[in-house]
Amino acid sequence: MISQIKKLWFLDDLAVNSAKTHVVSTYSEKEISSEEFLSSVHKLSDSISKVESDRWLLYCDNSYLFLVACWSLVCTGKTIVMLPNVQAGTLSEMIGEYDAVLTDVELPQSKKSIVISRDCFLDSSRLSNSRGIVYSDVDLVFYTSGSTGKPKKVVKKLSNILSEVIVLNKCWGKKVAQSVFLSTVSHQHIYGLLFRVLWPFCFKNIFFAERQEFPEQINEVMKKTKKCTLVSSPAHLSRIGDVLSKPLMSDVMQMVFSSGGPLSESTSYYYYTQFSICPMEILGSTETGGVAMRQVFPNNKSGLWNLLPEVKAHSEKETQQLLVQSPFIYMADNPFLMGDKVDFVNTDQFKLLGRADRVVKIEEKRVSLQEIEDKLTSSNLVKECRAILVRRHLRSQSDNAINAIGCVLVLSTLGERQLKNGKLKLINQLKALLLGHFESVVLPRKWRIVDSLPINQQGKVTNERLVRLFER
């Protein structure tokens, strides 16, 4: 795979000199050329090399500036550190994990830093003899938000990430050729990094430097382009579909990608029936990269996942957890045991059964949070649901608390009508439904009804954000 990586256009001096310049990104509605990109990387690399620091925290709001910064750190052989967020508390807690900062925003921290903007590079002279980027197989260190909320360290080599980019292009390169990539998710996490930035960049597709947070922005982009590819998440896709332009989606949009959790059948069907596009779902994790893909068509409700090329996997016998071996995984972690339970129907296809780590104990009774969610969403009253473990204070023992289940609900249209008759009556209906499958002692004790599930910048519903709903 390394030989294929070194054939990428920006790593080959001969290719850089012989090829015509092309557009890399659209930044504030202006096109950025490959020549300007390479010039900016070489200039920033010179600045970085003057700072005696090895581990660089990389955070940029703008995807193009992120790309320039990322490859400048690669050129200088630095370790790239990616935090789950750059809140003051996170920066303080993780201060021992990085030596310097490279960013396009002012951050509340005291380490050596370089703050960049496009203006930093506009006065640099064009390279009379353009040269490719010096390849160094640097470490990228991610700190993901785990189920406990404590950041978990994940190391990947640049070669792990570029190997996956090459596989993505083998799968869908022809389908997305000459597409402009736009995204609702952040590039600061593995999915956005791969699909929003590195894949289009490596194979000469244009990507938007700014994130499209609202469907109206996506519509505006589609009006100005001939072909688009959308990188998104289940939470975003479920919310924006009815605002997206049907003619533009049908004519301009080539593919829609979704990752971060399973996409509901209703959302998949909506995009297929309204726009003639069935979203391509990607299953994976920061540790593994992409593992499998699927599309759920109205006439194919099996919901089977197909392993990506180069990925090998099977279910662990005792727990049914997915055990993955892949060139996208750091050598020390290969193979990797995921938290997803699966049932293989053949060597390359499996059913996703839920999370192995979502079985909790309530009053010494084991119960699956996933199963509670499935039962509630199977009713015609609930559109979306998340069940989590919360602490419940006992009235007779005010100083003590015990584990209980809390449910966060997004109601269906029928559920919203029922809510007008009183929240207690609606909750009792849902409890009656659950009593057909669970003992009363394990039923949810706390309920929250919201317009939409709380998501982070990556479009994921995190345990931390759900817990906050029960702290009010």
The pLDDT value recorded for residue 333 is 79
From the list 202, 278, 220, 239, the residue with the least C-alpha distance to 210 is 220
Mean pLDDT of 161-173: 97
The pLDDT value recorded for residue 273 is 94
* pLDDT tier for residue 11 given thresholds of 50, 70 and 90: confident
Assign a CATH topology to domain 363-469: GMP Synthetase; Chain A, domain 3 (3.30.300)
The pLDDT value recorded for residue 465 is 87
The pLDDT value recorded for residue 398 is 42
Q: Is the pTM of this model over 0.95?
A: no
The pLDDT value recorded for residue 73 is 97
8-12, 111-115, 263-267: range with lowest mean pLDDT: 8-12
Assign a CATH topology to domain 1-157: Rossmann fold (3.40.50)
> For 87-119, how does the pLDDT look when each residue is reduced to its tens digit (9 = 90+)?
887 888 889 999 999 999 988 877 899 999 888
The pLDDT value recorded for residue 292 is 98
Structure tokens at 333: 């972690």
Q: What does 285-350 look like in DSSP terms, one character per residue?
A: ETTTEEEEEE--BTTB----EEEPTT-EEEE-TTT-EEEEE-TTS-GGG-SEEEEEEEEESSSSEE
What spatial distance separates the first Cα and last Cα of the chain, rounded to whole Å? 51
Mean pLDDT of 377-405: 75
Percent of the chain with pLDDT over 70: 92
Contact in structure between 142 and 97 (CB atoms under 8 Å): no
HSE-CB at 409 with a 13 A cutoff on CA atoms is 28
**Which CATH number is correct for 212-356, 3.30.2320.50, 3.90.1150.10, 3.40.50.12780, 2.60.40.10?**
3.40.50.12780
The pLDDT value recorded for residue 354 is 81
pLDDT beyond 70 at 346: yes
* pLDDT tier for residue 128 given thresholds of 50, 70 and 90: very low
The residue extents of the domains of the chain are 1-157, 212-356, 363-469
From the list 253, 321, 329, 244, the residue with the least C-alpha distance to 286 is 329
Are 212-356 and 363-469 the same fold in CATH?
Answer: no
* pLDDT tier for residue 228 given thresholds of 50, 70 and 90: very high
pLDDT beyond 60 at 146: no
The pLDDT value recorded for residue 147 is 46
What phi, psi does 5 have (nearest 5°)? -60, -45
Amino acid at 412: S
